[in-house]
Amino acid sequence: MTVIKAALLGFGTVGKGVYDAVQTHRQELKTLLGAEVEIAGVLIKDVKKERNIEKHVLVTDCFDDILQIPGLDVVFEAIVGEEPGFSYLQRAMEQGCDVVTANKVMFAKHGAQLLDIAREYGVKVGYEATVAGGVPIIRTIAQQLQVNKIGRIQAILNGTSNYILTEMRKRDSEFQEVLQQAQELGYAEADPANDVEGNDAFCKLMILSQLAFGSQPEWKNVQVEGISRITLEQVQAAKEKGLRYKHVAEAIKEGDEIRASVRPVLTSANHPLYSIEGVDNAIVIESSLAGTVTVQGPGAGSGPTASAMLEDMAHIFQGAPATHPEKNRKKAAAYA
Amino acid sequence: MTVIKAALLGFGTVGKGVYDAVQTHRQELKTLLGAEVEIAGVLIKDVKKERNIEKHVLVTDCFDDILQIPGLDVVFEAIVGEEPGFSYLQRAMEQGCDVVTANKVMFAKHGAQLLDIAREYGVKVGYEATVAGGVPIIRTIAQQLQVNKIGRIQAILNGTSNYILTEMRKRDSEFQEVLQQAQELGYAEADPANDVEGNDAFCKLMILSQLAFGSQPEWKNVQVEGISRITLEQVQAAKEKGLRYKHVAEAIKEGDEIRASVRPVLTSANHPLYSIEGVDNAIVIESSLAGTVTVQGPGAGSGPTASAMLEDMAHIFQGAPATHPEKNRKKAAAYA
């Protein structure tokens, strides 16, 4: 039996999720790929911390050790921030490894460049996990709507802010109160700004724009407004009229121009995102032939994100088709 | 420029939709496939009927004429019923043509066999259009949830019955009254039994079961109950409690057993199909890693069905990866 040798960069929620999923889905991977997937190395920050990792796996805080794993096939990146994620993936690709990333901040900025590097070195980049966790939105756009022209994307791309808005309305609670509970439940980070102020949704929207339209709008021209200033009074007044606040990320292509925004929107029952509740994400795609198609599901979490990363890996090792050379997008190397 | 030569079997709503979409998306197809798509022949029943088809296209009521088109690459089948659809596709495949079908009645019964024939003759079968029109549910299951184990599918697979249930509730109207209006609007057929009694949804559910679980339950063991006996009084009583009737097709895999049903279900606001309204279709997939993923969109109509068929064609001529050899399913030839 062939072995696919993989390394994990990061062993937080996502990294551990991939590690566990490889164990629980060993048989599925074997049948699908005709190969064992072996996690051969894990890059962590603190080598002294106790982790539930099998003894034969190399656990190191030095990326060079990872690159020196003999016959390394694929690198899963699940670390936070532009760097060192980008440099690590670049070096892995230069060495001939395929890469799979969940890093939206890095990919929003360096995605096009990573895809160029992948082309140059004849390797592949999977980035399904950068947007909306287990929801297969990247490949839905890249592979299922290739003939269709996409005109508009409207989406809820951050589960934390959607959870907060949902609970404010359902429980008649103030923003701060719900936020605190979300933090206790693990739905919100200690520093929630990235989620509730829209930066996280912004990064994901830029990745979707690049994919669907072949380019991103100038970042400075994108209106990004968070939900932290929405008051309980506003939520209640809306509720009485049957309306709901939703934190909507939107990108529209008109001619050669792309307009994009992330902002709270007051939705009525016939808005396609009105019924998306709690921590779910959803993406509404307006396309020329298929019409308005919506994909919805868990936007974060260990299992869903691991799902996206392993499905990416499956595509890479099955040799999936090139996607969408039209629209000038610099993404042909993905799954190419 | 290479030419992909195609033939249409049938020129009703779907066949005409494909014909038109090939014209309106000529540039997209060219960029994507590096080839012109040429509709070289159209099989119709009544040659005397006026149709808006270009003069150079062979229009015939004889299938042998279609098979004799020199260099025919792909056959789009959009005719109704098991036969002659199945025999026509079989003959086309034996001659080396790839095929794309929208025929759910035929595919529910003969799908596995068609895929076997495709394997034997080294050709491909696309059947995205058999379930839920423009909603890319076939490839979402076949390609985006390959590593995931699927445990349950719940779906609204018939837009006509969902439209009727929605309008009965919204307008406080009787079944017969809404049905009549739906017929006037073209949402329901003159003989609506196939839609409102659940047979159409049943066929689609069987196709999804085969795909997700590798087999179908015994047809006689599947409970199929329509919506025609739901009274306005029942709908109104439910409405007062905030509940909605939905016509739910469900398949569950437990061990080696598959349980399936199509029946009216009283849903509350936290049911994943509660908010699916009007002619939309939606499919809720419960999977081992990604969690509960929902795909929603227009389940029928000229554009959406043409979308599914052209996206299938794009996959075939790009050489997409084999899907899901696990689970014993006889579908590996699709997109293989």
> pLDDT per residue over B280-333, tens digit each?
999 999 999 999 999 999 998 999 999 999 999 999 998 644 333 332 222 222
Spatial separation of the C-alpha atoms in residues A23 and A44, rounded to whole Å: 20
User: Catalytic residue at A45?
Assistant: no
- CB-CB under 8 Å, A321 with B321: yes
β-bridge partners, A281: A297
Spatial separation of the C-alpha atoms in residues B17 and A142, rounded to whole Å: 23
Task: Count how many pairs of residues, chain A against chain B, have C-beta atoms within 8 Å.
Answer: 177
Q: What is the pLDDT of residues B28-64, one digit of tens each?
A: 999 999 999 999 999 999 999 999 999 999 999 999 9
Would you state the pLDDT for residue B325? 31
- CB-CB under 8 Å, B146 with A314: yes
Cis peptide before B84 (omega within 30 of 0): yes
Nearest CA in chain A to B303: A289
Q: What is the mean pLDDT of residues A97-126?
A: 97
- CB-CB under 8 Å, A136 with B145: yes
Partner A, chain B 178-197, Cβ-Cβ below 8 Å: none
Partner B, chain A 316-335, Cβ-Cβ below 8 Å: 318-322, 324-326
CA distance A227 to chain B (A): 24
- CB-CB under 8 Å, B318 with A319: no
Of the candidates A28, A318, A326, which has its C-beta nearest B321's C-beta? A318
- CB-CB under 8 Å, B289 with A134: yes
β-bridge partners, B39: B6
Would you state the pLDDT for residue A188? 86
Spatial separation of the C-alpha atoms in residues B171 and B216, rounded to whole Å: 38
Cβ of A255: how many Cβ atoms within 10 Å? 5
Q: What is the pLDDT of residues A212-240, one digit of tens each?
A: 999 999 999 999 999 999 999 999 999 99
Spatial separation of the C-alpha atoms in residues B293 and A301, rounded to whole Å: 14
Partner A, chain B 6-45, Cβ-Cβ below 8 Å: 21, 24-25, 28-29, 31-32
CA distance B168 to chain A (A): 17
Q: Which of A293, A309, A324 to mutate to test the interface with B (most CBs of B within 10 A)?
A: A293
CA distance B5 to chain A (A): 17
Would you state the pLDDT for residue B323? 36
Q: Is the pLDDT of residue A190 over 90?
A: no
Q: What is the mean pLDDT of residues A285-299?
A: 97
Q: Is the pLDDT of residue A99 over 50?
A: yes
CA angle B218, B203, B179 (to 5 degrees): 130
What the block records as the tokens of A110 is 């360096």
Q: What is the pLDDT of residues A8-66, one digit of tens each?
A: 999 999 999 999 999 999 999 999 999 999 999 999 999 899 899 999 999 999 999 99
Q: What share of chain B is helix, strand, coil (3-state, %, to 5)?
A: 40, 25, 35
Q: What is the mean pLDDT of residues A153-180?
A: 97
Q: Is the pLDDT of residue B1 over 80?
A: no
Q: Is the pLDDT of residue B103 over 50?
A: yes
Q: Is the pLDDT of residue A322 over 60?
A: no
Would you state the pLDDT for residue B68? 98
Going by C-alpha positions, the residue among B199, B218, B215, B195 that lies closest to residue B207 is: B215
Spatial separation of the C-alpha atoms in residues B16 and B18, rounded to whole Å: 5
Distances in Å between the alpha carbon of B44 and those of B55, B62, B65, B103, B305? Answer: 15, 8, 12, 16, 19
| Burial classification of residue A263, based on how many CB atoms lie within 10 Å of its CB (0-12 exposed, 13-18 middle, 19 or more buried) | middle
The residue type at B143: Q
Q: What is the pLDDT of residues B163-216, one digit of tens each?
A: 999 999 999 999 999 999 999 988 888 889 999 999 999 999 999 999 999 999
Q: Phi/psi at B240 (nearest 5 deg)?
A: -60, -30
Spatial separation of the C-alpha atoms in residues A254 and A32, rounded to whole Å: 41
B79 touches chain A (CB under 8 A): no
Q: Give this prediction's pTM.
A: 0.93
Distances in Å between the alpha carbon of B251 and those of A12, B78, B202, B221? Answer: 35, 26, 10, 12
Would you state the pLDDT for residue A185? 87
Q: What is the mean pLDDT of residues A291-316?
A: 96
Q: What is the pLDDT of residues B121-159, one digit of tens each?
A: 999 999 999 999 999 999 999 999 999 999 999 999 999
Residues of chain A with pLDDT > 90: what percent? Answer: 90
Of the candidates B29, B295, B321, which has its C-beta nearest A315's C-beta? B321
Would you state the pLDDT for residue A319? 62
Going by C-alpha positions, the residue among B37, B19, B18 that lies closest to residue B28 is: B37
CA distance A286 to chain B (A): 10
- DSSP 3-state of B189: coil
Going by C-alpha positions, the residue among B164, B326, B275 that lies closest to residue A31 is: B326
